[in-house]
Amino acid sequence: MRSSEAALLESPAVGIAQLAHDGWFIRVNGQLCDLLGYSARELLERSLQEVTHPDDAAVSRAQVRSLLSGGIPHYSLEKRLIAKGGRLVWVNMTRSWVRTPTGEPDYFVALIQDICARKVADLALQEREARLRSIIDTAPDAMIVRRRGLDRRKPHHHRVHPRPHRAAAH
């Protein structure tokens, strides 16, 4: 492996894996080991498919088939990986070929970024929106929501009418 490839593999920012054509790990960096809780030796005894959540496996297989057939040069997707002990880890994975000097596919490289914090925040936002929508949908009367604009002397008012037939009476 060239020294520039070795330096990239040890990047502290994201998990990086070198994968064989069949998805088995060939090389992994420390960040990926830390993310999944496996030692490098343990990961090298597994395939990416083995640590992919079963509900995400079909989409991953379809993307790999497109890569193998030359239909796409790379792909990115959000998926769940199964860490040591069964903990689920949400990641954004980008996968592409590394080619030989003659242009033949040599191996896959996968960049794996932990997005668990973003997924937790997204879920909390969805739950909050659902709770607010439920309050608005069940409110007996129209509500007025005040938002202050840039000019604090002129607040902006928005009428929210959960039931237009009731709001029309006001």
User: Within its chain, how far is the Cα of 169 from the centroid?
Assistant: 47
- The residue range of the domain holding 40 is 3-119
106 or 134, higher pLDDT: 106
97 and 158 co-located in one domain: no
102 and 156 co-located in one domain: no
Q: What is the pLDDT of residue 1?
A: 57
Sequence length of the chain is: 170
Beta bridge partners of 113: 92
Identify the residue whose tokens are 């593999």.
9
92 or 145, higher pLDDT: 92
Percent of all residues in the chain with a pLDDT value above 90, rounded to a whole number: 52
Q: Write down the number of H helices and E strands in the chain.
A: 6, 7
| Collapsed DSSP state (helix, strand, coil) of residue 157 | strand
The tally of domains found in the chain comes to: 2
Q: What is the pLDDT of residues 109-137, one digit of tens each?
A: 999 999 988 878 878 888 888 888 887 78
Q: Is residue 125 part of a domain?
A: no
Q: Which two tokens stand for residue 144?
A: 């007025």
What's the CATH code of the domain at 74? Answer: 3.30.450.20
